[in-house]
């Protein structure tokens, strides 16, 4: 369980988040929702260790920590809104790069990448380059890339926004399938219908605070 207490963040002296208390429960899916500009992506970036909170406390499995440490330890993986695949690398290389940089052998990294491609129904795309893939395929590669580091929590920033609307349901199915395998997931989304399809708990970000429902 990852707990956030009293998280605050300002940009240019303008408070975006304040008094955020949030619990991310193991093996569940949490949706972070709220109006445009409320600070959903800011909160996700804080949880991911990509942007520091100005203040607040973080507890992981009952021990005090920081998101930066969790990211370093590989606890947290992120699927970015625009997928952010490396355009000059094959799908396989996109997935194996981070694990090999972290010391995993090339053979083991490739085996895991091929297993993930199989699981995500993309076995024939290992040698393709991102430009040749559809939006839905790019997203599954971005998910495979995050999963290659074996995170315990997977964060998604607006997973449906860059996709054809009819793919929304297949993304929800994928997130629900990962949950059935025990993954802990956090989904930032505008899309309330999508949130309902995947979330065990919803956290609404409002300006200057948040509320659980």
Ligand X SMILES: Nc1ncnc2c1ncn2[C@@H]1O[C@H](COP(=O)(O)OP(=O)(O)OP(=O)(O)O)[C@@H](O)[C@H]1O
Residues in contact with ligand X by CB under 6 A are 11, 16, 34, 36-42, 190
CB of 146 to ligand X, least distance (A): 19
Helix (H, G, I), strand (E, B) or coil at 176: helix
Nearer to ligand X, 149 or 162 (CB): 162
CB of 51 to ligand X, least distance (A): 7
Nearer to ligand X, 93 or 207 (CB): 207
DSSP 151: -
Nearer to ligand X, 19 or 118 (CB): 19
End-to-end CA separation in angstroms for the chain: 18
DSSP 208: T
CB of 20 to ligand X, least distance (A): 12
CB of 139 to ligand X, least distance (A): 17
Nearer to ligand X, 36 or 62 (CB): 36
Q: Residue length, the chain? A: 213
CB proximity list for 86: less than 8 A, separation 6 or greater: 93, 94, 97, 130
Q: Kindly give the pairing relationship between strand 29-33 and strand 184-188.
A: parallel
d(CA 61, CA 112): 27
For the chain, the maximum distance between any two Cα atoms, rounded to a whole number of angstroms, is 50
DSSP 134: -
Torsion angle of C-alpha atoms 45, 49, 51, 53, degrees rounded to 10: 100
CB of 34 to ligand X, least distance (A): 6
CB of 41 to ligand X, least distance (A): 3
Nearer to ligand X, 37 or 52 (CB): 37
Nearer to ligand X, 24 or 116 (CB): 24
């Amino acid at each position: 369980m990852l707990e956030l207490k009293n998280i605050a963040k300002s940009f240019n002296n303008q408070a975006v988040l304040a008094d955020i208390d949030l619990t991310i429960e193991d093996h569940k899916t949490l949706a972070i929702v709220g109006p445009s500009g409320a600070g959903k992506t800011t909160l996700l970036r804080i949880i991911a260790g990509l942007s520091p909170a100005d203040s607040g406390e973080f507890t992981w499995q009952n021990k005090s920590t920081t998101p930066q440490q969790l990211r370093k330890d590989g606890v947290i993986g992120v699927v970015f809104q625009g997928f952010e695949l490396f355009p000059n690398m094959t799908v396989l290389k996109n997935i194996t790069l981070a694990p090999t940089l972290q010391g995993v052998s090339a053979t083991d990294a490739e085996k895991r990448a091929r297993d993930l491609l199989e699981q995500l129904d993309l076995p024939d795309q290992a040698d393709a380059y991102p430009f040749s893939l559809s939006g839905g395929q790019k997203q599954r590669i971005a998910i495979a890339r995050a999963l290659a580091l074996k995170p315990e929590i997977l964060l998604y920033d607006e997973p449906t926004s860059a996709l054809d609307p009819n793919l929304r349901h297949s993304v929800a199915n994928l997130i629900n399938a990962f949950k059935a395998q025990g993954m802990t997931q956090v989904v930032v989304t505008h899309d309330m219908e999508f949130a309902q399809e995947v979330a065990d708990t919803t956290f609404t970000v409002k300006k200057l605070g948040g509320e659980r429902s």
